[in-house]
Amino acid sequence: MPLLKKMLAQFGVEDKRVRLEWVSASEGERFASIVNDMTEEVRALGPFSRNDGGKHG
Amino acid sequence: MAKLKLALYWAAACGGCDVAVLDINEKILDVANLADIVFWPIALDFKYHHVEAMPDKSIDVCLFNGAIRSSEQEHIAKMLRAKSKVLVSFGSCACFGGIPALANLTTRAEIMQRAYIEAPSNDNPNKTLPQTKVSVPEGELTLPELFDDVLTLAQVVPVEYFVPGCPPTVDLILKVVNALATNSLPPVGAIIASEKSLCDECDRKKEKKMISKIYRTHEIIPDAERCLLEQGLLCMGPATRGGCGALCVKVNIPCRGCFGPPPGVKDQGAKLISSIASIYETKDEKDIARMVDEVADPAGTFYRFGMSNSMLKRKRVQGK
Amino acid sequence: MKKVSIDPITRLEGHGKIEIFLNDAGDVANAYLQIPELRGFEKFCEGRPVEELPRIVPRICGV
């Protein structure tokens, strides 16, 4: 993960956009809270601009 | 069989692929027997207007090398696509973006700024930048528009075959020439190289050892018999298609992935990260942090030749 | 003015075009050499590890 994040940073992908968590099927509440937290963090970062083979500067 | 009409063209390229074709030495005479070359800027004087005048599909095979990063390159790619029966994406630049695609980690504005204004050897007091249209006393001059993104050939026009390599090896080129001569090209869409990863071709001893340090290539002199990755060097072998004869590894330097991703792998960088993770032995967080530090330039190393072909394709710029 | 374009220049590495403007007498009034390509090595080599550059910069010219 840290290596992936270092590489993604070179691509301008912010650290908070990627997260790895281990959650078991019985940890429903924890899962919900992780998803909600991350949703808020990503929302605060704004849309992720995808350059799908875009051309112009 | 009537002589084939063959065209070769270079877009954002270095000429290496064209020279590689000449590297087949005396066999170029076989090519001359097999085909009339109707366009090849490095070697012949045909101009764009000659190509424009050709009927559609009158070129039997076009070997197109170089990535697409300007309006002229896109235009010629489309023109050659229309005029050619078979279009071959030739070399790593056309197939995956190649070295020019490292420009996807920056922007056109930054490149222009550096090349024309900031570079120490420049003499440009007026800070003039190239323009797509400029008026001179005699008339008007035009230049193509540079794109922000470097694209592969297949991202611009449909392509029948892919020959990877920086440059493609003589063996591979002869394979293509022979296939043309005997009319035995593989099914459309084929990548003309090996169907396995480089590791399969590599002769070195793989002992399935774990590593605990990653070295930059100047930090150690590797043992010539053992797997480079197992010695702590970043070798793109597991994330790269074979077919090159492991030329780089044979001279004791790690692979940098110029043959693109192996079959079944979409993204070379992701594959290599998971390969490293699977052989890396760590004790704790500090170890992991140290290892990450030891990888000097993940994006530029894992996507050295394959940026345009990767999942992310380019660095994200604010406001785009 | 009449303009004669030589495009592309051939038998060298690199892309170029020459625009020649002829006056009414048919003599060359002016000629311009233009380079319609830029790959950006000057910029994208920044940030790469120095020991990798000997494998990157030969791709400036393969001839």
Residue B1: band (very low, low, confident or very high) from pLDDT cuts 50, 70, 90: low
SS3 for chain C is: CEEEEECCCCCCCCCCEEEEEECCCCCEEEEEEECCCCCCHHHHCCCCCHHHHHHHHHHHCCC
Measure the CA–CA gap between B91 and B64, rounded to whole angstroms. 8
For chain A, what are the domain ranges? 18-46
Residue A54: band (very low, low, confident or very high) from pLDDT cuts 50, 70, 90: very low
What is the rounded average pLDDT of the residues A36-55? 77
Query: Do A10 and B297 lie within an 8 Å CB cutoff?
Result: yes
Strand partners, B10: B65
B143 touches chain C (CB under 8 A): yes
Measure the CA–CA gap between B165 and B140, rounded to whole angstroms. 40
Overall number of domains in chain C: 1
Task: Residue A12: count other Cβ atoms within 10 Å of its Cβ.
Answer: 17
The percent of residues in chain B predicted with pLDDT above 70, rounded, is 99
**Would you say the C-alpha torsion B244, B245, B250, B254 has a positive or negative sign?**
positive
Per the structure, the complete domain to which residue C54 belongs is given by: 2-60
Task: Quote ipTM for the complex.
Answer: 0.93
Count of A–B CB contacts within 8 Å?
A: 73
Which of C38, B150, B113, C39 has its CA nearest to residue A56?
B150
For chain B, what are the domain ranges? 1-192, 198-302
What is the rounded average pLDDT of the residues B262-289? 91
Strand partners, B4: B35
Domain B1-192 has CATH 3.40.50.700: yes
Residues of chain A in contact with residue B316, where contact means CB-CB under 8 angstroms, are: 11-13, 48-49, 51
The percent of residues in chain A predicted with pLDDT above 90, rounded, is 72
Which of B79, B10, B88 has its CA nearest to residue B50?
B79
SS3 for B12-59 is: ECCCHHHHHHHCCHHHHHHHHHHEEEEECCCCCCCCHHHHHHCCCCCE
Give pTM, 2 decimals: 0.93
Measure the CA–CA gap between B257 and B166, rounded to whole angstroms. 9
Name the residue in chain A with its Cα closest to that of B276: A3
Amino acid at B18: D
Q: Which of C13, C27, C39 to mutate to test the interface with B (most CBs of B within 10 A)?
A: C39
Residue A56: band (very low, low, confident or very high) from pLDDT cuts 50, 70, 90: very low
What is the rounded average pLDDT of the residues C36-57? 96
Average per-residue pLDDT for chain B: 94
Is B288:B282 a contact under the CB 8 Å cutoff? yes
pLDDT digits (tens, 9 = 90+) for C1-25: 899 999 999 998 889 999 999 999 9
Measure the CA–CA gap between B162 and B306, rounded to whole angstroms. 14
Model pLDDT, residue B282: 83
B62 touches chain C (CB under 8 A): no
A32 contacts: CB under 8 Å, gap ≥ 6: none
CA atoms within 13 A on the CB side of B154: 21
pLDDT digits (tens, 9 = 90+) for B3-44: 999 999 999 999 999 999 999 999 999 999 999 999 999 999
Using DSSP's 3-state secondary structure scheme, residue B219 falls into coil
Strand partners, B65: B10
B252 touches chain C (CB under 8 A): no
Amino acid at B285: E
Name the residue in chain B with its Cα closest to that of A13: B316
Q: How far is CA B124 from CA A53, B129, B173, B270, C39, in A?
A: 32, 9, 43, 42, 19
Q: Beta strands of chain B (E only): which ranges?
A: 4-10, 35-39, 59-65, 68-70, 84-90, 133-136, 139-142, 146-151, 161-163
Burial class (CB in 10 A: 0-12, 13-18, 19+), B89: buried
Count of B–C CB contacts within 8 Å?
A: 132
Measure the CA–CA gap between B96 and B297, rounded to whole angstroms. 19
What is the rounded average pLDDT of the residues A15-34? 93
Query: Do C60 and B14 lie within an 8 Å CB cutoff?
Result: yes
Residue B174 pLDDT > 90, yes or no?
yes
Measure the CA–CA gap between B224 and B221, rounded to whole angstroms. 9
Which two structure tokens, joined as six digits, stand for A21?
């968590």
Give A11-40 as a DSSP string. TT--GGG-------TT-HHHHHHHHHHHHH
Is C14:C37 a contact under the CB 8 Å cutoff? yes
